[in-house]
Amino acid sequence: MNWASWSDFFAMGGYGFYVWGSYLVFLLCIIGEIVLIINRRRTLHKQLSLIHKATKQEMSNETTP
């Protein structure tokens, strides 16, 4: 166990800014990438459902006499 206390842990031997500056950006990039992909999928599904409704609408128009 390297750390006497939480504040010792965050101080990181005086290099806290550099270590946490690295880990924070690492975390932000990972989360950012996942959020971007989920967002991309969601907008795509919206478009696909619109296309699907439109085609179903056309099909039902054609069939009714």
In the complex, the residues that contact another protein under the rule CB under 8 A are 1-3, 9, 12-15, 18-19, 21-23, 25-26, 29-30, 33-34, 37, 40-41, 44-45, 47-49, 51-52, 55
Rounded Cα distance between 58 and 62, Å, is 6
| Residue 17 CB, nearest approach to another protein (Å) | 8
Query: Residue 65 CB, nearest distance to another protein (Å)?
Result: 25
- Find the shortest distance in angstroms from Cβ 16 to another protein: 8
CA atoms within 13 A on the CB side of 9: 6
